[in-house]
Structure 1
Amino acid sequence: MRRIPAALAAAGLLILAGCSQNGGGTAAPTTAPSAAPPATTSTAPTTSAGPPASTTAPPSSTAPPGTTSPAPTSTPGTPGCPAPGWGTGAKEAAGSTTDALYLVRIGRHDCYDRVVFSINGPASTGYSVSYVPLVTADASGKPLPVAGGAVLQVVVRAPEQGADTSGHQPGRILAATGDYFYPSAQLASWPSLRAVRFAGFFEGQCTFAVGTRAKLPFRVFTLLDRVNQVRLVVLDIAH
C-alpha cells in the first residue's frame, strides 16, 4: 500500500475543516448597518406682531404683515371669516383733537381692504363714516366723485397737517382739496377699495371720499400706536 506523505495529509485535513465551517465553502457577505436618515425639523411660520391693543380696538387675531395697523379679524361673506359688528350703517365716535392728520395709508388683508389715517398725537379722535350718494368738498360743496359702485364719506375730527403748528412734517400740507391719495388706476385689482380722495379741511375736521366696489360692510375704530405715540383711525372694508 502506497504511503501518503505526512505533509499532504495534514493539508487535506485543514481544507475539509474549512469547508464544513463555511457551509459550502463560500463566506456569507456581511452588510454594515445603514445609518438612520438625519432628523428633519420644521419651523413654524412667524407672524409679525401688530401694535399694542387699544381700549377702543375690537378683538383681533393674527397681525397683518408689514404694517403698524391692528391685527386683522374676519369679515362677513368670506368662508372662515365671521365678524360680528360689521355692517353698512353709519358709524361715529365723539371727540376731536387739535393734533394734525399727517398721513393716509392703505393695506390689503385676507378679508378686507384697510385705510389708516395717522394723527400726530395720542389723544382720542372722533370720526363719522357713512355711505352717501356723493361726497362734496368741505366747505365749498363742490361734487367730488370717485370710482366704485359706492362711496364712503369719512370725517376725521382733526386738522390737516399744515393747518396748525403740530404737524408731523412742519411746512408740508397733507393735501389740497380734490387731491387723490390713491387713484382708481392704482386700486383697480383690489377686492374692495377703489379710490381715496381728499374732500378738504374745514372747522377742525378733515373729510375724505373713499370709493368702494359696492356697498360693503365696514368697521371703524381708533388705535394708539404706542411706538410712535400717534393715534390711528382705521377703516376696514369687507371683501
Structure 2
Amino acid sequence: MSYLLSSSRLIPVAAMLGAVGLLAGCAAGGGSSTATTVTVVSPVVSPVATTVTVDNTTAPGGLMPLGNADKEEKTRRQNEPADLMVDNIRVGDHPTFERVVFDLTGYGKPSWFITYTDAPSYPGSGHPVQITGDSFLDVNIDGIAFTLRDDMVPQDFSTRQLPDSIITEIADTGIFEGRHSFVIGITGDRRPYSVDLLDNPTRLVIDVLKR
C-alpha cells in the first residue's frame, strides 16, 4: 500500500503507485491490487480537501529496510555544496516496515539531521506543530536552495493524514535558512528507524520498523 504526497495547489495529487517499483527503486513484481479512494485535508489558511487514489499492492517476497535501524538520532554532513529542492514525498507499506521517500531535484547531495522529539515545533518561530501520533520524528534536510532556479517549481507539502498506517501523518514545517523540515507522526512508542541516500534520482529514504 503506498501513498503520494504532493502539493494540493500546484500539481495533481491523484496517482496509482506500486510499493516496490516507486518506493524501492527496484523492478516491480507481481501481486494483486485494488484501488480505493481516500480524502486528505490540507489545514492551510482555509482547509482544502483533496481526493487521492491509493493502489493497495502486495509486494512479493518482502522488501527489506535499508541501513541499520535503531532509535538514535541520524546525521550526515556532506563536504560538497548542494542546491536542492524536495519535489515529492511518497509513503509505502511493507510487511516489516513503512518507508518514507523524499524525492529531491537540483544538484549535489543533501545533509540531514533526524531525531525523535517530544515536542515538534516550527523552525524559527518555535510554535508547536499540530500533528496526530504518539511519537514524532523530526526530519531536517539541508542543502536546500535559498533561491529557486528557473527549472525548480516550488511545492507546498501540507499536512496529510495517512489511513491504516503506523505513520499517522507527515507535516511540512517549512524551509528555514537552507533547511527543509518535516515531522513524521508515528503510532505507539518510538520505533527503530534507518536513513539512507539513494542516487539517480536523488532520494532520502527513511524506513520505520513496525516492531
Is the TM-score greater than 0.5? yes
CA distance in 2, matches of 1:124, 1:219: 18
Q: TM-score by structure 1 length?
A: 0.58
Whether contact under 8 Å (2:84, 2:105) holds in the other structure is yes
The whole-number CA distance in structure 2 between the counterparts of 1:123 and 1:94 is 12
- Please show how residues 158-237 of structure 1 align to structure 2 within 5 Å: 158-159=143-144, 163-165=147-149, 167-169=151-153, 173-175=154-156, 179-180=158-159, 182-183=160-161, 187-190=162-165, 192-214=166-188, 215-225=190-200, 230-237=201-208
Could you list the runs of 5+ residues in structure 2 that have no partner in the other structure?
1-17, 27-62
Per residue, is there more helix in 1 or in 2? Answer: 1
Q: 1:132-147 to 2 correspondence within 5 Å? A: 132-147=117-132
The answer to which of 195-204 and 121-130 deviates more is: 121-130
CA distance in 1, matches of 2:191, 2:147: 33
Taking only the aligned residue pairs, the percentage that are identical comes to 19
Partner residue in 1 for 2:54: none
Cα drift, residue 146 of structure 1: 1.3
C-alpha distance after superposition, 1:36-88 (max 9, x if no partner):
xxxxxxxxxxxxxxxxxxxxxxxxxxx952315346315xxxxxxxx882111
Greater alpha carbon shift after TM alignment, 132-141 vs 64-73: 64-73
Partner Cα distance (1:84, 1:124) in 2: 18
Q: Which residue of 1 aligns with 2:20?
A: 65
Q: CA deviation at 1:224?
A: 0.5
Q: How far apart, CA to CA, are the structure 1 residues paired with 2:67 and 2:103?
A: 26
**Structure 1, unpaired ranges of 5+:** 1-62, 75-82
User: Deviation digits for residues 9-46 of structure 1, max 9, x if unmatched?
Assistant: xxxxxxxxxxxxxxxxxxxxxxxxxxxxxxxxxxxxxx
Matches of 2:25 and 2:96 in 1, distance apart? Answer: 14
Count of matched residue pairs: 154
Query: For the residues of structure 2 that align with 1:70 and 1:212, how far apart are their CA atoms?
Result: 24
CA distance in 1, matches of 2:93, 2:151: 27
Task: Report the residue type matching 1:237 in the other structure.
Answer: V
How far is the alpha carbon of 1:144 from its aligned partner? 0.3
Equivalent position amino acid for 2:21 in 1: G
- 1:76-155 paired onto structure 2 within 5 Å: 85-95=68-78, 97-121=82-106, 123-155=108-140
**Alignment RMSD, CA only?**
2.4
Shift of 1:121: 3.2
- Higher Rg: 1
Please report how far the alpha carbon of residue 122 of structure 1 lies from its aligned counterpart in structure 2 after TM superposition.
Answer: 5.1
